[in-house]
């Protein structure tokens, strides 16, 4: 089994921080969709815990941490209360939330890949599950909110690609027995920086070669049309 790179208390604090910022993004989308308080709480919980829950079920780490640690369940509810009463203020700090979301993405894709390998998955599928840990909650959030997942939208800045890079770095480090606190941190930071650069310069994945679709951003689901 791979060595633990952080003490349990530090790892727990990092998990809660990531859960909180992901829950904020889910709760904000619920407010924009005019959900009631229960809907806001559901979307916050799903966004924050969905990726980790999927990972734990796949690798057989049951019951999942989301159902054994009360803090994991309560942190999205704290985010719900905050957004419910202060959502205009929270929305004005969206840039800061995006930065923390990018940090959470880096942490979760690295932690997800490592945990999947510890439970016996091969390197390729460990990296895939690391990606799912980072982006899974956001996909579930968008589906429940009746939107095309941001992961699949050409008009959104790169999100999955930075996570893929980070998870792949971890898998390669495991393969060459180079995984240590420095390289795992480097993988998380690389994911974080790539996501920030994608948001800053609006990097997007290429669409189909010689495509003939005339769809525009305004014609996509969830966008107003003239």
Could you tell me if 52 and 75 are in contact, meaning their C-beta atoms sit under 8 angstroms apart?
no
* Residue 79 domain flag: yes
Cα separation of 113 and 129, whole Å? 6
Let me know if residue 67 belongs to a domain: yes
Q: Tell me the Ramachandran region of residue 180: left when phi exceeds 0, alpha when psi lies from -120 to 50, beta otherwise.
A: beta
pLDDT at position 226 is 31
- Classify residue 226: in a domain, yes or no: no
How many structural domains are present in the chain?
1
* CB-side neighbour CA atoms (13 Å) of 197: 8
Residues 83-136 pLDDT 10s: 999 888 877 777 777 887 888 899 899 889 998 998 999 999 999 999 999 999
21 in a structural domain: yes
Flag whether 221 is in a domain. no
CB 167 within 8 A of CB 110: yes
* Higher-confidence position of 226 and 41: 41
Residue 8 has pLDDT above 80, yes or no: no
**Residue 133 is part of which domain span?**
8-202
82: tokens are: 């905050």
**Does a structural domain hold residue 37?**
yes
Whether the predicted pLDDT of 216 surpasses 60? no
Cβ atoms of 105 and 162 within 8 Å: the answer is yes
In which band, very low, low, confident or very high, does the pLDDT at 155 lie, cut at 50, 70 and 90?
confident
Phi-psi region of 71 (alpha: psi -120 to 50; beta: other; left: phi over 0): alpha
CA 200 to chain centre: 18
**Could you tell me if residue 140 is inside a domain?**
yes
User: What confidence score (pLDDT) does residue 164 get?
Assistant: 96
**pLDDT value at residue 5:** 53
- Per residue in 62-81, pLDDT (tens digit) is 999 889 999 999 999 999 99
CA distance 195 to 157: 8
Let me know if residue 33 belongs to a domain: yes
């Amino acid at each position: 089994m791979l060595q633990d790179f952080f003490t349990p208390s530090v790892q727990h604090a990092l998990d809660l921080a990531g859960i909180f910022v992901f829950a904020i993004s889910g709760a904000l989308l619920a407010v924009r969709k005019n959900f009631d308080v229960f809907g806001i709480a559901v979307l916050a919980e799903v966004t924050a815990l969905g990726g980790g829950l999927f990972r734990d079920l796949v690798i057989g780490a049951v019951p999942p941490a989301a159902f054994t640690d009360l803090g994991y369940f309560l942190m999205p509810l704290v985010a719900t209360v905050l957004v419910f009463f202060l959502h205009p203020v929270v929305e004005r700090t969206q840039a800061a939330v995006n930065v923390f979301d990018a940090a959470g993405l880096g942490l979760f894709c690295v932690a997800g890949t490592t945990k999947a390998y510890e439970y016996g998955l091969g390197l390729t599928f460990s990296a895939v599950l690391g990606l799912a840990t980072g982006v899974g909650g956001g996909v579930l959030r968008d589906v429940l909110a009746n939107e095309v997942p941001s992961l699949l939208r050409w008009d959104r800045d790169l999100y999955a690609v930075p996570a893929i890079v980070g998870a792949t770095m971890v898998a390669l480090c495991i393969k060459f027995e180079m995984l240590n606190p420095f390289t795992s941190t480097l993988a998380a930071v690389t994911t974080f920086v790539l996501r920030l650069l994608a948001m800053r310069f609006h990097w997007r994945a290429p669409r189909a070669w010689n495509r003939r679709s005339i769809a525009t951003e305004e014609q996509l689901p969830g966008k107003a049309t003239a």
